[in-house]
Structure 1
């Protein structure tokens, strides 16, 4: 129901109707809607690929990021709620523990693992949020919107913007491909900064 209509339209009354019971009966199973959302978020976490034990950190973090973004595209209502739960469920806890465990096993210190986790999640959730706010989904919609935008302003006044719109209108362009480009750039930068293990080399004025 949340995937189809959004979380704001999901009410205990509508849920009760969906499962064929009175809304009050649901409170035998959940304390309130927030409790329900905790369980829903835990189900979402359960869909994300976890790093396998002993997996190399870069491919593990790459696959986890791609999987997380795919899961968020199926459950758009969950984007801003994934890291907000004060009562996380077992899948939520298992996910965070596995990601941190993979980084720690690769030799990252606790401090470095925190840096990497924060950096990657900021990128993943930020990209997902941005993509969901775009006024198009399919490539055909990009072309149609691009043509309309080019007609609305004088191209010679905004040549760089016009160039970018024309780039996005080219056959085969997929905005979602920008995600993996940025992800690989970030992972390679982390590898270079951390040398694969331990703490990053901090600037002299940061020490």
Structure 2
């Protein structure tokens, strides 16, 4: 292992090597602990050597996003728009789950990086190739939001910590005041590792919501839906159920 590390340190430094090392380091120590100095130590170089490849920490983070987005599988050839979009988004989710810091960094960017733009362009192209109008595609992308990159943000933190049997513990006065919230909180055993609420299966909940959205997009597409003036939906026939 030591010989492999020494050999890696002797390998020529390149932008790709710097970015991949930064991604691996962030995976190991967390994005907050990542610094140019720490990365230089990992690569066995002086910090100034990094600046030939990334001008500063912000450019490093942009490049790390590019590296992670590059792990997303390409579109499946010949797939219908729904299957293609679903596969692409779930692949994006897998890529970001492999790097728990990536969603945070993507949200922190002042704008999309070229790789993110290319990915978005690809997804938009799937809807357009599937026959979606520019108008409907515009609203579809708003509806998907961050889900296009495989992550979502819950409104609030997870419910109270569970008891040893895995059920949420809710004070009696709160249970009486908020019976419907309590009913849902008590409906399942809870797991603190879940983003969407202890006990919820993150992957299931993500795919459940994604499939609901895709079903809705398909229905609106079949109905020839269009938005009205100032982007407001046209009432009446455009949303009327089919025969």
Residue 159 of structure 1 pairs with residue 184 of structure 2 = no
Q: How many residues are paired up?
A: 198
* Residue correspondence of structure 1 range 52-201 to structure 2 within 5 A: 52-82=76-106, 84=109, 86=111, 88-89=113-114, 91-123=115-147, 127-130=151-154, 134=158, 144=164, 147=167, 149-150=169-170, 152-154=171-173, 155-169=175-189, 174-176=200-202, 177-195=204-222, 200=226
| Stretches of structure 2 lacking an aligned partner (at least 5 in a row) | 1-24, 192-198, 228-232, 237-243
Q: Distance in 2 between matches of 1:76 and 1:147?
A: 27
The C-alpha deviation readout for 1:42-87, integer Å capped at 9, x for no partner, is 1111122332344211111112222222222222322144373657
For residues 53 and 200 of structure 2, what CA distance do their matches in structure 1 show?
43
| Residue of structure 2 in register with 1:203 after alignment | 234
Rounded to whole Å, the distance in 2 between the matches of 1:107 and 1:113 is: 10
Output the TM-score relative to the length of structure 1.
Answer: 0.77
Alpha carbons 2:128, 2:134 under 8 Å: kept:
yes
Q: 1:170 Cα deviation (Å)?
A: 8.0
C-alpha separation in 1, matches of 2:86 and 2:30? 28
Q: Which has the higher contact order (CA 8 A, sep 6+)?
A: 1
Q: Does the aligned pair in 1 maintain the 2:66–2:113 contact within 8 Å?
A: yes
Looking at CA atoms only, which structure, 1 or 2, has the larger radius of gyration? 2
Partner of 2:22: none
* CA offsets 1:68-124 (integer angstroms, 9 cap, x no match): 2222222232214437365734x4343223212211111122332222223213445
RMSD, aligned α-carbons: 3.5
- In the alignment, which residue of structure 1 is the partner of 2:13? none
Determine if contact 2:65/2:102 at 8 Å carries over to the other structure: yes
Name the CA shift for 1:51/1:113 in 2 (closer, same or farther; >3 Å).
Answer: farther
Compared CA separation, residues 46 and 135, structure 1 to 2 (3 A): farther
- The answer (yes or no) to whether the contact 2:26–2:101 under 8 Å persists in 1 is yes
Matched residue, 1:22? 46
**Higher helix fraction (1 or 2):** 1
